[in-house]
Structures are given as C-alpha cells and as structure tokens.
Structure 1
C-alpha cells in the first residue's frame, strides 16, 4: 500500500510539473470567413485558458485541454460582434466556452498534429490541428464548417461563408 501511495504521489507531481498554464494575454484565436461571397471578415477571440502538457521528446504524455470565451469575439464592428454573441450565432449565454481536448499528439514531417475533439455551440466533433512549437508558443491552423456546429443555421445566414479559417496562438507560461 505504501508503494502505491508513493507511486500515485510521483505521478501527480510529475503531472503538475509538466502541465503548463496558458498565458492569457497574447493567446488568441484569429478567424477569417467570407461575407457576401466577395468580402472577408476577420476577427479574433481572446480569453483562452486551460492546461497544456507538451514535451516534444515525450509526445505520448502530451495533452491539450483548452478553451476560449466566445463572448470575447472582436471583428472591430460592435454591432456585428453583438450579433455574433446572440442566439443567432454563438449564443454565449447558453454556450460560454469553445473547447478543444486532445486525444493524441503526433509528430509530422514538418511539425505536429493534435487530434482531438472540438466542442462548440454544444456540439462535439473530431478535428485535427496542425501546429508548430517554438519559443514556448503553439501556433495551429484549422478549417471548420460552422454548419457542422449549427452556428447561424436558424437565421438564413446565406451571406456568411460556411468554412471558417482559424489560426490559434497559444503562449505558455
């Protein structure tokens, strides 16, 4: 029993040492979406938090559990941002977090890939995020279809593109 207690203590301490907190200022998710088929709307979300365990030498223990606050959406247009926050789009009162939890992290030819589940608007779908790691920062790219997450489906948002380009910048402490 004493050995089990020592082993559990060691595992907890190892987890706590390897878990890296996210530096909220400077961590963000940028997005681009077509609007009216010929314009592009760009914006960002801030308010990222969660835990990251990442050691390029030990990917089997790597793990991401991060989220952003959709209420922080900023397209530099207050009227549009307020519309994005309401029930037509993100419904931030009902769905206050957009989250990603990895199931595995692998090395690719040029960088890394996080495989996991993205939860947005109460819907969880599997995704793969290609990312790089340098200077204690993770930079990832992802393409999502907003209709897969039932965002903007009830309002006749035909002028908004379905595919959203995401760029994730996660700075670690």
Structure 2
C-alpha cells in the first residue's frame, strides 16, 4: 500500500478548510411573513446569523451549510409583539436561543440550486428544502414552513395568526 506524502495530505486538508466561509453577520438577515387576522400580514426579521457556508457550485457534493440565528433578534416593528414573540408562547428564547439549519444534500435546479437539511427550532428538527441562488458569495433562499410543526405559537388561534410562514434568507459570506 502506497502512502501519500505528508505535504500532499496537508494540501488537501488546507484546500477544504479555506472553502468553508464564515457568515458575514452584519450583512446577513432572515425575513419572514405570516398571515395575521386573515387579511393582513406581519413581516419581520432575524439578524445575528453565525456559522459557515461552503457552496461549491461545480461539485455540489462538497457543499455544506451550518448556520444559526439568534431567536432573540426577532423584530417586527412592534415592541409589544416582539416581546410576546420572545416569550414562552412563541420562541421561548430563554430556553431556545438559536434557530439552526444544517444541510444534508444539494442539487442543481432549473432556477439555481436546492438544499435539503435539518431546521431546528424550539428543540424540534424537521427536514426542509430550500431553493436558492448563489452568486458573489451570497446565498438567497426562500421557503415556507408550518409554524405548528415546531410548536411555535401552537396555542394561538389560526384565524388570528396563520400557520404558514414564508421565510427568505440572505446570507453573505466572507
């Protein structure tokens, strides 16, 4: 059995390490939109995204996303509502400080790319698929989740607050 030279092994390890890029926390944001009182919407954001993103568009099997956002950064433009969203009724940020996504697969699509992975919120992990584009070190993806799948505001009246949440992620990497 032939052994690889130590310098060749280091080169491969270094090449892989430099591809994973840290999230630019200041320029990355998650926007969300949910139906409120049937005829209107509540829009908001999350900031303070951290983690690493490695998108290799030529070799998608080498790609990986591992990011989290701070649940306490939820912002809708209404202080009273934001405080309620941080409470036990919704995000319970005291016990669940982060919402995380870890990719498992990537594929090419007609519109760009798709990643599937585990979205973890309130201690619940579910598979989600995110169609996305990736250009100039910026990941932009849009998808929907059912908030009740994560027990998010599960005691709220569905006529007051909708179940489906539209999410748009803009993640810039350094």
Which TM-score bucket, shorter chain as reference? over 0.9
Secondary structure of residue in 1 paired with 2:27: coil
Rate the CA distance shift 1:4–1:36 in 2: closer, same or farther, 3 A: farther
- 2-structure distance, mates of 1:115, 1:74: 26
* Structure 1 residue 5, shift from structure 2 partner: 5.5
How does 1:73-112 map onto structure 2 within 5 Å? 73-112=74-113
Structure 2 match to 1:44: 45
* Structure 1 residue 110, shift from structure 2 partner: 1.8
- 1:53 partnered with 2:54: yes
- 1-structure distance, mates of 2:125, 2:96: 12
Deviations 1:14-43 (A, max 9, x none): 221111111111201000001111110000
Uncovered stretches (5+) of structure 1, i.e. residues with no partner: none
Deviations 1:39-69 (A, max 9, x none): 1000000000101111211111000001101
Structure 2 match to 1:156: 156
- 2-structure distance, mates of 1:161, 1:66: 26
Secondary structure of residue in 2 paired with 1:74: coil
Secondary structure of residue in 1 paired with 2:26: coil
- 1-structure distance, mates of 2:47, 2:135: 20
Deviations 1:51-96 (A, max 9, x none): 1111211111000001101100000101100100010000001111
* Structure 1 residue 6, shift from structure 2 partner: 5.1
How does 1:1-173 map onto structure 2 within 5 Å? 3=4, 9-153=10-154, 155-158=155-158, 159-173=160-174
Deviations 1:110-158 (A, max 9, x none): 20001111001100000100001112211000100000000111x3343
- 2-structure distance, mates of 1:108, 1:145: 24
- 2-structure distance, mates of 1:141, 1:8: 38
